[in-house]
Amino acid sequence: MRTEVIACWLGIAAVLGGLTVPLPSAYAQGLQVSGGLDGRLTTEREGRETGPFRPQLTGAFLNLRKVWSDEFGDRWIGVAQADFDDNLRRVRPYQLYLQYKGPLGKWNLRGGHYLLPFGLLATYDTERLVLQGLEKRSLGIRKDTGMQAFGRYGSWDYAVSLSDGLSDVRFADSRANPVLTARVAYVAGDAQLGFSALARRVLLDSGPRPVDVRERRFAVDATKSFGPLTVRAEGVGGTDNGRARGGGVFLGDYALNPKLDLNTRYAFWNTHDAGHGAGLGLTYQIRQGLFFRTAGTYQSRRDDHYGFTVQLYYEFSKLL
């Protein structure tokens, strides 16, 4: 557990250190510091169904980003982000990596702790939104530590990642079980169609004894805008030790005016449990960087559950 905290501060130190120790023959740019605060009044509970309204600072994050250029262009990118969750009681590295960008970005190499290139998660991170994607249920893992190669070829984007699988395991056993993730996507303007695959071994603690599970997942994801309407959808299928698993999510955002968005979500899943859920919400931009969000959710698992969340979200960015 301490390694996460140490990793956070080592990463931050590494990016900060780049200010004074630039990489060979490189031009170091300024340090981009950004951050955010995610405050909520909610009936939703992590790992449980729902409860009475509770105010909380769900998360705060600090992100440092630094770019080093050579004579042809931006070449090295360092990112260190620490998240402080649950009223600042928990700290975890969110993204912590060093990236080498090849010419024109046709290929890139990234090493460290990063979001996995799988499904919608590859292009759309819903971590700080009220209505979120499906990956916590369909994969049980969103980010991991390893190496990733990604880039583009013509109209296609590609990404392949090999990571250690230790980031989100419920039992921190001594084995590092590799996670192999890959995605290709056809990109045409603001539309894209992606195909992803993931394979890993994981110890699940859902029963009386930990179970060694061989997880295989495939996904098709799509994103497209139709004027004020942006739709994102993902279908996931696969197996856990040969047993069929599946699910899907649809996210739709409709701009009612420049400051107000209507947000919708529908998801269903059959993974370690089965159910479906729906959500309807509003996002209002109070001013630059400050958002008010609210959403009502319905979830059917063993019973029906209704939740309600009000969020105040603030983000900032500054070059030092």
Binding residues for another protein, rule: CB under 8 A, are: 1-2, 4-5, 27-30, 32, 34-35, 37, 39, 55-57, 60, 67, 69, 71-74, 85-92, 103-106, 152, 167-169, 172, 187, 190, 225, 227-230, 255-258, 261, 287-290, 312, 314-319
Is 214 or 318 the residue whose CB approaches another protein more closely?
318
**Contact criterion met (CB below 8 Å) for 92 and 61:** no
Q: Round the CA-based radius of gyration of the chain to a whole number and report it.
A: 20
What is the spatial distance between Cα 66 and Cα 29, in angstroms, rounded to a whole number?
7
Least distance between another protein and beta carbon 84 (Å): 9
Is 241 or 317 the residue whose CB approaches another protein more closely?
317
Residues in Cβ contact with 6 at an 8 Å cutoff, skipping those fewer than 6 apart: none
Is 162 or 255 the residue whose CB approaches another protein more closely?
255
Least distance between another protein and beta carbon 77 (Å): 10
Least distance between another protein and beta carbon 223 (Å): 12
Least distance between another protein and beta carbon 216 (Å): 24
What is the spatial distance between Cα 273 and Cα 252, in angstroms, rounded to a whole number?
25
Least distance between another protein and beta carbon 234 (Å): 20
For the stretch 83-86, contacts whose Cβ atoms lie closer than 8 Å and that sit 24 or more positions apart, written own/partner, are 83/59, 84/59, 84/60, 85/58, 85/59, 85/60, 86/56, 86/57, 86/58, 86/59
Is 169 or 236 the residue whose CB approaches another protein more closely?
169
Residues in Cβ contact with 180 at an 8 Å cutoff, skipping those fewer than 6 apart: 160, 161, 162, 197, 198, 199, 200
Is 286 or 304 the residue whose CB approaches another protein more closely?
286
Least distance between another protein and beta carbon 70 (Å): 9
Is 59 or 277 the residue whose CB approaches another protein more closely?
59
The full length of the chain comes to 320
User: Among 147, 307, 139, 285, which residue's Cα sits nearest to residue 213?
Assistant: 139
User: Among 35, 42, 40, which residue's Cα sits nearest to residue 60?
Assistant: 35
Is 29 or 270 the residue whose CB approaches another protein more closely?
29
Least distance between another protein and beta carbon 297 (Å): 22
